[in-house]
Amino acid sequence: MKRQILIALALLAAFAALVSGCKPASPAPTATPPAVTTAPPMETLAPATPSPTPVQSGLAGDTKDILAAVNEGANIDFETFDEQITAETCQSYLGLTPEQLSEYAEDAYVSMAAMNVSAHLTALVKCKDAASAAEVKSLVAKGFDSGRWVCVRPDRCLVVEAGSYVFLIASYDEIATALEDAFRALAGDAAGEADVFFEAE
């Protein structure tokens, strides 16, 4: 009897193993592709427009300070005699009559070599407006005496306007060039064309 029970248990175990082995294999898990995040398209940025360089509006202030700044910019290192131009001195320094100075100018200043043996003079006139400056420029070019030093003469005499200002230069070539450059650096785009009305031969 025991033998029959053991055989029955063995058959039952074999049947159970058979049934268990016949179960379909669980399907392999399907790999889920990684999520791809698509970045939104980048906006096309226009290149930054550089800020325009502000146009210099020209000179401002009194003639004494501006003339000192021009002399400094031109590295004028010799001794000068500087003074206000008046009705009594405008003919000598500018070639203008007192009436012309009164009609067109508000302020005028001169800087010249302290030693009269050096032909060097600069003068700055602040006129009432740009139209007055254009007139003064023309009058100075016609009226200034390049032979005022008698024994010596400058290499070059020129006059240039910038807005309502007129700048006269009578000096040696290198100094005249340095002074004109310094004046233009201060005046910026307001500076006009120079009228060279005298050149030594």
Model confidence pLDDT, tens digit, residues 97-152: 999 999 999 999 999 999 988 999 999 999 999 999 999 999 999 999 999 998 99
Model confidence pLDDT, tens digit, residues 34-78: 554 454 454 444 444 444 333 344 698 899 999 999 999 999 989
User: Does residue 31 belong to any structural domain of this protein?
Assistant: no
- Of all helices (H) and strands (E), which one includes residue 107? strand 105-113
User: Does residue 164 belong to any structural domain of this protein?
Assistant: yes
User: Does residue 6 belong to any structural domain of this protein?
Assistant: no
CA pair distance 128, 184, nearest whole angstrom: 20
CA pair distance 191, 175, nearest whole angstrom: 19
Residues 6+ apart with CB under 8 A from 139: 95, 96, 100, 104
Tokens of 111: 């800087």
Model confidence pLDDT, tens digit, residues 148-182: 998 999 999 999 999 999 999 999 999 999 999 99
Model confidence pLDDT, tens digit, residues 5-29: 545 555 555 555 554 554 444 444 5
User: Does residue 45 belong to any structural domain of this protein?
Assistant: no
User: What single-letter amino acid sits at 160?
Assistant: V
Which structural domain range is residue 126 located in?
63-199
User: Does residue 141 belong to any structural domain of this protein?
Assistant: yes
Q: How many domains are there within the chain?
A: 1
User: Does residue 144 belong to any structural domain of this protein?
Assistant: yes
Q: How many CB atoms are closer than 10 A to CB 11?
A: 10
User: Does residue 1 belong to any structural domain of this protein?
Assistant: no
Task: Give the predicted TM-score (pTM) of the model.
Answer: 0.72
Q: What's residue 12's pLDDT?
A: 55
CA pair distance 152, 145, nearest whole angstrom: 12
The counts of H helices and E strands in the chain are 6, 6
User: Does residue 9 belong to any structural domain of this protein?
Assistant: no
Strands (E), 27-116: 80-84, 105-113
Q: What is the DSSP letter of 149?
A: T
